[in-house]
Structure 1
Amino acid sequence: MELPSEHTIARGLLAGQASAWESMYDTLAPRIWQSVARRVGPHQHEVADIVQETFLAAAGSLRTFDPSRGTLWGWLSGIARRQAALYFRRRQTRPPSFETSLFDAESAQLETSEPLPADLLSAAETAQSVREALSMLPLDYEELLVARYLDELSLDELAARDATSTTALQSKLARARRALRSALARVTGERVLP
């Protein structure tokens, strides 16, 4: 079954067609899920909650969607970014909790080649800081960094995708990395080396 185009879905949504909501979900939910998971991490329940909140917020604010200002994906991914930011704000108001399972087997870990609990915790904290910093960036910088370093697209592939020169893309990538360093410094409260 071929899914309808975003343009067709957008027209249906604006015309009040209930079937357009189902089409939007079927077409865009996997991309929204992936986008949210990159921001929040591998916490399936939190990702599911944020994706659900994204579609609920979209239903409540459909009147703000203007196809002349951007794509349906851009509008919905912007809502997802805001929902993920709300998730991070809510987490900051709660005291941090550490999983005791990381510390339970510390002595057993010392005798194996598996990572130590402290290393696992440090890696998890670093990954969370990077996700939070990425969510603070302009969408084009975030998408570029994710495509380059997580999806491992080459500069040539990215330049072709964005219909730009490799030189222009390298400049934009350098600006995106600087913005990420600055965001990481704000998230961690530490100076991040260039």
Structure 2
Amino acid sequence: MDLSDQDLVEQIKAGDDAAFEALLERYRDRVYRLVISFTRNPADAEEVLQDVFLTIYRKIASFEHRSAFSTWLYRITVNTALMKLRGRGPVQESIDEYLPQFTRDGRHARMVVDFTQGPEKQLLRKEREQVVREVIEALPPDYKVVLVLRDLEGLSNEEVAEVIGASVLAVKARLHRARLVLRGKLEQYMTEPRTRQ
């Protein structure tokens, strides 16, 4: 019978190292997947993964079950990954040019590409996926974390808010802007002439 996270946490607090190994095994792949989506670098992801579980081991005694263990783990993971990203330096590109722009009378300043007509006809699937990965990688960390947690990890807006320590309204706003940037960059990619190799 598998023990719950709460049972494992209580056993770890009591000094059971095997319980920590079981918890590590349960979450290792999920944490790595989340971290690699931020860092896009296996060496950095491994380093962050180690830092996350070292932090969990050191701070498990302070975990008070006010939220689910997984939420606490995500919070530590996100904070550790963001510190790693910030260590790389600032994101060079502004996202503003990819957000919708309007004329004074409230109309879109540029035509909006309709993606519902089958983007597979415009891009090969593999190529499109690569572009999406590059767009997500280029997002500022505050937007990237919300997009990854919500759209890739499947957390609810409320869970994301708890993980990043922001309001649900702030999560919705960042998620909306991140999706607009993603759409804007894909629109630019699909409408600009380019040579394919």
Length-normalised TM-score, structure 2: 0.55
Instruction: Provide runs of 4+ in structure 1 moved above 3 Å.
Output: 121-125, 174-178, 181-185
**Residue 60 of structure 1: CA displacement?**
1.9
- 1:62 is aligned to 60
Partner SS, residue 139 of structure 2? helix
Residue 83 of structure 2 is aligned to residue 83 of structure 1 = no
CA distance in 2, matches of 1:142, 1:128: 10
- 1:6 is aligned to 5
Residue 100 of structure 2 is aligned to residue 127 of structure 1 = no
**Residue 70 of structure 1: CA displacement?**
1.3
**What CA deviation, in whole Å up to 9, does each residue of 1:66-96 have, x standing for no partner?**
12x1122111111111110101110017x9x
What residue identity is the alignment partner of 2:89?
A: Q
- The counterpart of 1:178, out of the listed 170, 173, 187, is 173
What residue identity is the alignment partner of 1:86?
A: M
Change (3 A) 1:123 1:5: closer
Structure 1 stretches lacking a partner, 5+ long: 96-120, 149-157, 163-171, 188-192
- 2:151 is aligned to 145
**Residue 130 of structure 1: CA displacement?**
3.4
CA distance in 2, matches of 1:36, 1:85: 9
Could you tell me whether the CA contact under 8 Å between 1:38 and 1:131 is conserved in 2? Answer: no
**What CA deviation, in whole Å up to 9, does each residue of 1:142-164 have, x standing for no partner?**
5332256xxxxxxxxx8xxx9xx
Count of aligned pairs? 140
Change (3 A) 1:184 1:130: farther
Taking only aligned residues, the RMSD between alpha carbons, in angstroms, comes to: 4.2
CA distance in 1, matches of 2:28, 2:89: 27
- Bigger RCO of structures 1 and 2 (CA < 8 A, at least 6 apart): 2
**Residue 181 of structure 1: CA displacement?**
4.6
Structure with more of its chain in helix, by fraction: 1
**Residue 124 of structure 1: CA displacement?**
6.3
**Residue 183 of structure 1: CA displacement?**
6.1
Length-normalised TM-score, structure 1: 0.55
Could you tell me whether the CA contact under 8 Å between 2:35 and 2:77 is conserved in 1? Answer: yes
**Residue 127 of structure 1: CA displacement?**
2.8
CA distance in 1, matches of 2:75, 2:23: 15
CA distance in 2, matches of 1:32, 1:25: 10
- 2:46 is aligned to 48
Name the % identity: 17
Partner SS, residue 88 of structure 2? helix
Change (3 A) 1:37 1:86: same
Change (3 A) 1:123 1:27: closer
Structure 2 stretches lacking a partner, 5+ long: 93-129, 160-167, 182-186, 188-197
What residue identity is the alignment partner of 2:151?
A: L
What residue identity is the alignment partner of 1:179?
A: R
Partner SS, residue 6 of structure 2? helix
**Residue 178 of structure 1: CA displacement?**
3.3
Partner SS, residue 66 of structure 1? coil
